[in-house]
Structure 1
């Protein structure tokens, strides 16, 4: 244990952030550390404790020790504490927004107006939803069936860097509301708001060990965490290769996993569509510099309107203001990390070398420098090309054309992913037909990114395993049990 907190505090955007783990209700240092760089200007924001197997073991032990008490806490009391956490998030919304923008480069105005309010909503929604579980019994030949959602145990939650706190609390909130304890391992490229969340949760009265925050690299801290025999649930959001490793590690102990993995989602534009709406929706795919798992990066446009659609989309891309994500006028900030910039640029360079054409963009933003990449649209791409088949996770879209509805569906279905799909059409019957034929966890018709916590979320094929959201989250984070009771006179048989 470190004795001097000042030695382990980084001041980010004027906000003090503790750089140690949060384990068992105490700040814990590690012998090693790692650097966290800001995508805004490349400076080092902090050096954080770098956990490994020892710290992962300590965090799971703390979660295991705290589990019986938290599981025995009434749902109403758990809800009260989680609402207090939400209050704390709202009280520190500006701090959280500023720190997260410095840490992952997403727009400050988005963090203020939508992302951090969603963080608070995650806690409120799942706190209240837990109170509704198991309210309705049912009878079978006079026997009473009572379904209960029992806490499963310590949960390992491994979260991504593109929307750090929102996606972390999407997992943390239902796990805690269900009566579980949690070890959260945030992504090493954007770990700072997870540390602030630990402070907020402690101030709200969450008992020690119920929420633990373990920092470090995925192949060290994360691998040790998801393979721990005392972990009873593993939820992971990230890449397909890492998802496979997580699933394999959890399988050794038959630990249930929820995996939200990559996407290569299509956006289908039919000739009967409102082309302005279609272009607006396509331009939305550059949100967060394209670093969104749900982004519809494959534009599939009916041949007769492709030229006009491309013209309208190019105009919107040209109007997109790139620059400092802290500025109110900025519409697209930098990529998160130098390695991500190299990855995105590598995809584009290989596609151009293979014969693709850049309708606009196609490279780094030379004037801005740093990690800024121009919004890009590539045409002349083949269905089996790398740029069409692999997730880029940057501001890069491809455009292919089709002549018939069947051809559109064939192109849309032509990858190994199945996270989401968007279609734009003026024909309601076509919308129903096409939606029914698409393999995706979410289909948006004439809209994009309309999300509701009551709805299931997850992917098909290599985009993931399982569903979370609404009751589906509790189905995962709980041991669902049915208790069948005979009539009072003891009569009756199954």
Structure 2
């Protein structure tokens, strides 16, 4: 009698809960867990199981410890931690590439995922310090005056939500998908619980191990659940946010949960997307636009084996060019694409993430064929591939699939615009005119991204304005940006990543927009003094301090919001106005021609230049000797309100409005509220003066 070989025990992918690494009881893991396999070879890599995990406790830990620890830091301090983390991961990313290859990713695929994710950290680390105050509150817009005497104001502030951000991520980007959600949540000051997809979650866990090992992030700011977390929504409430990336069907299931439908959990999702690329009628074969379009199409169905939510699924081209596009794309695939194990040097396209994923994509293609598609390029048969040892052959346990191009006689067929094959698959369909192309793009019922490829500005305008409301992002591709473009399928952290309708209606990225998703906007009403105290920004009508020491003599350690200086009056003469006109060359008639100026309904006659008044204003408030003020670097919100005629006088009042120390420099920014008045105490001009001041 033959005895079956003893199964080799493999590791359980760990979770990180309440500042400790956690794995389930081995017996429970073996009985309840899912085996994860190498996408190219089928080798068993790990077991994924969360049997016995206490999700409620993890959520409570985030709300208490995570919130408290993150609350100790300002926006700028959090931004610096993101930068520090990005630098640390950059120095330790090589082992991640080895693990990434096991997911079927080529080196370029891994770079998009790993380096792209690290790049998001760098971006938010930089933008957070440039665009946010060095405080805990974001002021949203100018104040609203709610009383005649200015004693009652209203403004809006953003403060972080008091709960946890639970992030459920897809399998296709186990690194980028986590970091692009973690970065804005962390910058906002909201703790994160990451729940990666099972097939590639082992790579996410490896990144979290590096992050925790760096000791850069404060306690409770990041937790990891490796495996199912079916009860997690049961423990969330209005304080929390759930961010989901995955299928529309799963998103709809989550939306129906009582915690979201009735409990007020904030929910943002990024789901299925039948993204389109539209070839303009001018972009015929032989043009740079045609070549760029074909290159983009092939790139999008082969990078990550087409497993990108932003991949091109529908290529919408002039009807007469369908065959040309298919032929050119097929030629490029044959010339440029080598399918196989990503650990082989020659391979340019790897496997899908799992055999289950392969089965799903092939099933979707069969559904498309049954719905009216024709197979124009590629096959669903098991392909010959390059193996890890650089030989060629079949890989029965590998999730390999050839790139597939489909064509359609009925370009408005329901399946074409509703079934997504989440792999190396795209349809090439013809349009009759621009309006027809717009209608076809819109049949996707909302998408993450579309490309418009044309060198005709009129065509670009008509297409973009026609499809913009159906998409979260539109790339305009032509000969001018074909080399520098980041590409159809590459979200960048500066711009919105999300889309309406079928795409989920979310905005995972978008610079500071994604940070604000983790914050509550609140209208605050009160006196100028109260709003100044709450916002850390001086409001008109609040107390000013006029002391013996000029504010420009104070460094940041001594300068306070509300510190002010008021000048004496200075008279403006006709000779002053004429001299300024002559020396600057600004001889606009309002400053040089009495009759023409008087005929203007805005002026009483010849008036002083606005920039003359600003120059004099600086002369009236400046303290000339060397001191803590290092430089003037600009003006903001300048408005000229009352004209100043010859014989009038002006004075300036300057008040420290906003103080922003820089964490990494020996100086900070100070915004000064500047108001020019005339001799009748009428406001002449208002503006903010921006200076750099020593700490």
Say if 1:152 and 1:477, in contact at 8 Å, map to a contact too.
no
Q: Does 1:378 align with 2:415?
A: no
Say if 1:152 and 1:180, in contact at 8 Å, map to a contact too.
yes
Q: Does 1:440 align with 2:481?
A: no
> C-alpha separation between the residues in 2 aligned to 1:348 and 1:475?
39
> C-alpha separation between the residues in 2 aligned to 1:401 and 1:27?
54
Q: Deviations over 1:193-240 (max 9, x none)?
A: 2212322222233233221100113xxx1x322332356011000000
Q: Does 1:333 align with 2:377?
A: no
> C-alpha separation between the residues in 2 aligned to 1:9 and 1:130?
42
Q: Does 1:105 align with 2:104?
A: yes
Aligned runs of 1:294-313 on 2, under 5 Å?
294-313=310-329
1:371 Cα shift?
1.2
Give the direction of change, closer, same or farther, for the CA distance of 1:431–1:393 in structure 2 (3 Å limit): same
Say if 1:363 and 1:374, in contact at 8 Å, map to a contact too.
yes
> C-alpha separation between the residues in 2 aligned to 1:79 and 1:310?
46
> C-alpha separation between the residues in 1 aligned to 2:367 and 2:497?
33
1:272 Cα shift?
0.7
Match of 2:45 in 1: 45
Give the direction of change, closer, same or farther, for the CA distance of 1:65–1:311 in structure 2 (3 Å limit): same
Unaligned runs of 5+ in 1: 1-6, 11-17
RMSD: 2.5
**More displaced 10-residue stretch of structure 1: 328-337 or 176-185:** 328-337
1:108 Cα shift?
2.1
Q: Does 1:225 align with 2:253?
A: no
> C-alpha separation between the residues in 2 aligned to 1:78 and 1:123?
11
Q: Out of 167, 180, 190, which is 2:190 matched to?
A: 180
Q: Out of 408, 424, 441, which is 2:437 matched to?
A: 408
**More displaced 10-residue stretch of structure 1: 172-181 or 353-362:** 353-362
**More displaced 10-residue stretch of structure 1: 297-306 or 431-440:** 297-306
Match of 2:251 in 1: 243
- Report SS of the residue matched to 2:405: strand
1:146 Cα shift?
5.7
Q: Out of 305, 324, 328, which is 1:289 matched to?
A: 305
Q: Out of 426, 449, 471, which is 1:397 matched to?
A: 426
> C-alpha separation between the residues in 1 aligned to 2:188 and 2:358?
39
Say if 1:348 and 1:362, in contact at 8 Å, map to a contact too.
no
Q: Out of 437, 446, 457, which is 1:428 matched to?
A: 457
- Report SS of the residue matched to 2:181: helix
Give the direction of change, closer, same or farther, for the CA distance of 1:381–1:24 in structure 2 (3 Å limit): farther
Q: Choose 1 or 2 for highest CA Rg.
A: 2
Taking CA–CA contacts closer than 8 Å with sequence separation of 6 or more, which of the two structures ends up with the larger relative contact order? 1
- Report SS of the residue matched to 2:175: helix
Q: Out of 466, 469, 477, which is 2:518 matched to?
A: 477
Match of 2:121 in 1: 123
Give the direction of change, closer, same or farther, for the CA distance of 1:301–1:486 in structure 2 (3 Å limit): same
Give the direction of change, closer, same or farther, for the CA distance of 1:384–1:152 in structure 2 (3 Å limit): farther
> C-alpha separation between the residues in 1 aligned to 2:9 and 2:162?
34
> C-alpha separation between the residues in 2 aligned to 1:160 and 1:353?
28
> C-alpha separation between the residues in 1 aligned to 2:55 and 2:422?
29
Q: Does 1:209 align with 2:220?
A: yes
Say if 1:420 and 1:442, in contact at 8 Å, map to a contact too.
yes
> What TM-score does the superposition give when structure 1 sets the normalisation length?
0.89
**More displaced 10-residue stretch of structure 1: 427-436 or 383-392:** 383-392
- Report SS of the residue matched to 1:285: helix
Tell me the matched-pair count. Answer: 472
1:302 Cα shift?
0.3
Structure whose residues are more often helix by fraction: 1
Say if 1:379 and 1:398, in contact at 8 Å, map to a contact too.
yes
> C-alpha separation between the residues in 1 aligned to 2:244 and 2:9?
28
> C-alpha separation between the residues in 2 aligned to 1:247 and 1:136?
29
- Report SS of the residue matched to 1:392: coil
1:257 Cα shift?
0.8
> What TM-score does the superposition give when structure 2 sets the normalisation length?
0.64
Match of 1:25 in 2: 19
Say if 1:456 and 1:467, in contact at 8 Å, map to a contact too.
yes
> C-alpha separation between the residues in 2 aligned to 1:449 and 1:331?
17
> C-alpha separation between the residues in 2 aligned to 1:267 and 1:120?
28
Say if 2:491 and 2:497, in contact at 8 Å, map to a contact too.
no
Unaligned runs of 5+ in 2: 1-7, 133-137, 284-288, 386-394, 478-486, 532-539, 542-695
Say if 1:260 and 1:459, in contact at 8 Å, map to a contact too.
yes
- Report SS of the residue matched to 2:200: coil
> C-alpha separation between the residues in 1 aligned to 2:57 and 2:530?
51
> C-alpha separation between the residues in 2 aligned to 1:348 and 1:416?
20
> C-alpha separation between the residues in 2 aligned to 1:89 and 1:489?
43
Give the direction of change, closer, same or farther, for the CA distance of 1:62–1:20 in structure 2 (3 Å limit): same
> C-alpha separation between the residues in 1 aligned to 2:365 and 2:124?
41
Give the direction of change, closer, same or farther, for the CA distance of 1:232–1:405 in structure 2 (3 Å limit): same
